[in-house]
Amino acid sequence: MTLIARRDFLRDSTFGLGGIALASLLQRDGLLADDHSPIRPQFDPAAPLAPRQAHAPAKATRVLMIFCSGAVSHVDTFDYKPELVKRDGQPLPGSEKLVTFQGENGNLVAPQWTFRPRGECGKWTSDLLPRMGELVDDLCFIHSMTAKSNTHGPAENQMSTGFTLDGFPSIGAWVSYALGSESADLPAFVAVPDPRGVPQAASNNWNSAFLPAVFQGTAFNADKPIPNLARPDTITAESDRATRSFLQRLNARHLQERAGDSDLSARIASYELAARMQLKAAEVADLSQESKAVQELYGMHDTSATKAGFARNCLLARRLLERGVRFVQLFNGAYAMGEGVGNWDGHKSLVQQYSVHGPILDQPCAALLTDLKSRGLLEDTVIAWVTEFGRMPTFQKGASGRDHNPKGFTVWLAGAGVKAPFSYGATDEFGHQAVENVATIYDLHATILHLIGLNHERLSYYHNGIERRLTDVHGHVIRDVLS
């Protein structure tokens, strides 16, 4: 028998108590992995969208991602650089004859819209988006975001799925897989494409890839609702109800004879959701139920058909969120060949393009945030405004626009659990590269998941011999932006 000296006993006890205290603090802050919790959500194939428990208490119950495709110029919108104004027309120091995505760059070019302080916090934003600028007191800017690709398609893939390659589930699909839906009559995940079309990566932005198909995003917008939902005039409502009831009995009997067939259960559940959507989706897309004041707030009747269309989509997004849709991905900008007239890809004539796109985004997006806040929905909704990468502080050689720049750009968060007004990270004095608190898309995804109660390291799906996750093997929660 070995005796322990009193001094050693007291020392070891102190270490033990310190470890207990540390574990308690880590658990409180959601930093302690729970080795007993499953890394794959357990769900009933017969009810795959039934609500499920998060890993930890959540600040938010739903997510709105506003995705401006085409790569918005941060130095012309939210990232104010006085030195860029001062050195307008001069070479970018240390980068003479710099070659980027589309070729050689010219000199530094000042922001094409005036920046001014806004809100009570005095945050400087540009006149391109004045109504969104008025809301800076509710926003948390991340000015040091970086991306892995300088090409639109792969960069859109990364912002939506965490990977530049095709074939990976979108963040909305991961959230649906983890938490299910709060609504029994609507999808857990809805993608709302721009009225002008889809982004360059198209349905990759909302697909489920190797996750079960029930978790993929349902894509529709206010002008192009889900097709084939309306009941034909030749069929009465009573006959329609009776037919559905009869089919339900047949399906139940068929499933009873094949107990344990999870694929059949999931297929029946999907069809039943589609049937419920037939009744509910038409109602959620009926914007005529909204008051005239709300319609005018969003700009639904603007003389610009494109702006009015995006305004309708913003209002649709609010109606989806308040009816329990877990994840809404709202797109502004659509892929177009050539000069990219449908999105924010301002290579050759940035002022001409952004003068069109700015007003389309500004009023409807600001109205959406204002409306969500006035209805109390910001208290349990997290909003992420994103774009796939930023723009150069220079103009392209021989052009009047800015080239692609994944080395530093701006995104912002708002809503539940987010510190506001707040600015995190920074690019250099010209807006070229992130230099302070450099952040990655993995970090952004980890932070969004954290806000809805999910540990990004404890959310996976076994595929091709690998436990896959949204953040791959990377990512850290950006704790400085949390309230």
Q: What is the CATH number of the domain that holds 328?
A: 3.40.720.10
pTM: 0.87
pLDDT for 179 equals 97
Question: Residue 377 and residue 188: Cα distance in Å, rounded?
Answer: 17
Average pLDDT (82-101) is: 91
Is 70 exceeded by the pLDDT of residue 270?
no
Is 90 exceeded by the pLDDT of residue 89?
yes
How far from the centroid of its chain's Cα atoms is residue 192's Cα?
12
Continuous segment of H or E residues that includes residue 415:
strand 409-415
- pLDDT-derived band at 7 (thresholds 50, 70, 90) equals low
Is 70 exceeded by the pLDDT of residue 228?
no
Q: Is residue 136 part of a domain?
A: yes
Do 341 and 356 reside in the same domain of the chain? yes
Average pLDDT (221-249) is: 79
Tell me the DSSP string of 245-269: HHHHHHHHHHHHTTTT-HHHHHHHH
pLDDT for 209 equals 96
Per-residue CA distances from 162 to 154, 157, 337, 388, 457 (Å)? 10, 7, 25, 11, 14
- pLDDT-derived band at 426 (thresholds 50, 70, 90) equals very high
Nearest to 206 by CA among 164, 166, 173: 173
pLDDT for 435 equals 98
- pLDDT-derived band at 242 (thresholds 50, 70, 90) equals confident
SS3 422: strand
Do 109 and 216 reside in the same domain of the chain? yes
Average pLDDT (12-20) is: 61
Q: Is residue 25 part of a domain?
A: no
Do 360 and 235 reside in the same domain of the chain? no
Q: Is residue 310 part of a domain?
A: yes
Do 273 and 398 reside in the same domain of the chain? no
Is 90 exceeded by the pLDDT of residue 62?
yes
Q: Which of 188-192, 270-274, 448-452 has the lowest mean pLDDT?
A: 270-274
pLDDT > 70 fraction of the chain, expressed in percent and rounded: 87
Q: What are 341-360's pLDDT values in tens digits? A: 589 998 889 999 999 999 99
Question: Residue 190 and residue 323: Cα distance in Å, rounded?
Answer: 12
Q: How many domains does the chain have?
A: 2
pLDDT for 339 equals 46
Nearest to 218 by CA among 201, 231, 205: 205
Question: Residue 31 and residue 477: Cα distance in Å, rounded?
Answer: 9
Do 290 and 245 reside in the same domain of the chain? no
Q: State how beta strands 115-118 and 123-126 pair.
A: antiparallel
Torsion of CA 210, 212, 213, 219, to 10 degrees: -80
Is 80 exceeded by the pLDDT of residue 481?
yes
- pLDDT-derived band at 224 (thresholds 50, 70, 90) equals confident
> Residues in the chain, how many?
483
Do 221 and 192 reside in the same domain of the chain? yes
pLDDT for 74 equals 98
Do 268 and 330 reside in the same domain of the chain? no
Average pLDDT (434-457) is: 98
Q: Is residue 154 part of a domain?
A: yes
Q: What are 315-338's pLDDT values in tens digits? A: 999 999 999 999 999 999 998 754
Q: Which of 22-26, 210-214, 245-249, 453-457 has the lowest mean pLDDT?
A: 22-26
Selection from 197-201, 221-225, 237-241 with the highest mean pLDDT? 197-201
pLDDT for 27 equals 52
pLDDT for 405 equals 97
Do 115 and 233 reside in the same domain of the chain? no
User: Of 249, 284, 319, which marks where a domain is finished?
Assistant: 284
Q: What are 116-158's pLDDT values in tens digits? A: 999 999 999 999 999 999 999 999 999 999 999 999 999 999 9
How far from the centroid of its chain's Cα atoms is residue 438's Cα?
19
Question: Which residues constitute the domain of residue 252?
Answer: 227-284
Q: Which of 7-16, 204-213, 329-338, 411-420 has the lowest mean pLDDT?
A: 7-16
Do 249 and 354 reside in the same domain of the chain? no
Q: Is residue 54 part of a domain?
A: no
Structure tokens at 57: 């208490």
pLDDT for 93 equals 92
